[in-house]
Amino acid sequence: MRIRPGTTLHQPSRRLILAGGSALLVGAMSALGGRAVLAASAIHKTKIGEAEVTVISDGTFTLPQSLLLPGVDQAALDTLLKAHGATADFTVQTNVCVVRLGSTVALIDTGAGPDFMPTLGRFADRLGEAGIASDSITHVIFTHAHADHFWGVLDPFGDTSLWPKAKHVMALAERDFWFAPDAADKVPEFQKSMSVGIVRRLKALGDVITTAKPGDEIAPGLAFVATPGHTPGHVSVAIRSGTSECLVLGDALTHAAISFGAPSWRWGSDIDGEQAAATRARVLEDAARRKLAVIGYHLPWPGLGRVETSGSAYRFVQEAGK
């Protein structure tokens, strides 16, 4: 993954540490050597049938390989990366989608906001740059509640949504998991402090968050698809317009070489590693068979491409960013 260098990394604020991002921030700063990187461009538009999809970068972040791929043999990793023309650079994009279809203008995830990592939190400011009025948003749809997907929903000056007129939708199983008393005991060690920030935001939003189940249509042409494992209630979002379809993956597939070339490898950020691997295998097979367009939240900018078979595994065929 080739990422262009960007702005200087700021020092973490007290609010950031209290919000529960400290463990991840330390890893990111160490791996980055104190330097932030941004997407080559911040806004990319594409069409899925009559649906206009705008991908907006929320920024990038880096995590150590030891956290992301615990127990993976280094020689096997090196061989896989070389075969895919990739390097051991775990700096990833955060590609937030805005879908305009008929009268619907839907956000799929909201970025990290200002309290998680200083290299993230660009999305809300870039929405206007993309020509999308904030008050035009009709739906805010979450694939899951991890900080880089969910924390950007709150107004940084209060505990209300940045999009108070929009319908906010999360999978029922996802919301219920984080509200369970033992949720923090079930997440990876480095996510335990983050879980506190997730619950705080869910409680702050309260009844603003409505719930749905996989298969439910959230708005005309937008539906939840079950992709659990990364979190128990993780969903992807299908965009359907006429004969065209695209699957917005969330974190079902996160790395252009590893998720596609070795889908059975365990990721340290997955809550249920076995289930997440089974989900990857199912999504890859289905997307390759149907020649389905996909958009990955952490795939190389702008995250848009297709899945093709490659030997006994798969490869990501990317649409070039602009």
User: Cα(69)–Cα(273) distance, rounded to whole angstroms?
Assistant: 11
pLDDT digits (tens, 9 = 90+) for 106-131: 999 999 999 999 999 999 999 999 99
pLDDT digits (tens, 9 = 90+) for 239-279: 999 999 999 999 999 999 999 999 999 999 999 999 999 99
Q: Which residues are CB-neighbours of 250 under 8 A, at least 6 positions away?
A: 109, 143, 144, 149, 227, 230, 234, 235, 236, 237, 297
Pairing status of strand 222-226 against strand 313-318:
unpaired
26 has a pLDDT exceeding 90: no
Q: Are 254 and 95 in contact (CB under 8 A)?
A: no
Which residue's structure tokens are 């160490």? 30
210 has a pLDDT exceeding 80: yes
Q: What pLDDT band is residue 320 in, cutting at 50, 70 and 90?
A: low
What pLDDT score does 6 carry?
A: 29
Q: Are 19 and 4 in contact (CB under 8 A)?
A: no
Q: How many domains does the chain have?
A: 1
CATH number for position 29? 3.60.15.10
**Nearest CA to 229 among 192, 259, 261?**
259
Tell me the backbone φ, ψ of residue 86, rounded to 5 degrees. Answer: -110, 170
As given in the structure block, the two tokens for residue 277 are 């691997």
Q: Which domain holds residue 286?
A: 5-318
Helix (H, G, I), strand (E, B) or coil at 263: coil
For residue 37, the one-letter residue type is: V
What pLDDT score does 19 carry?
A: 36
Which residue's structure tokens are 């940045």? 162
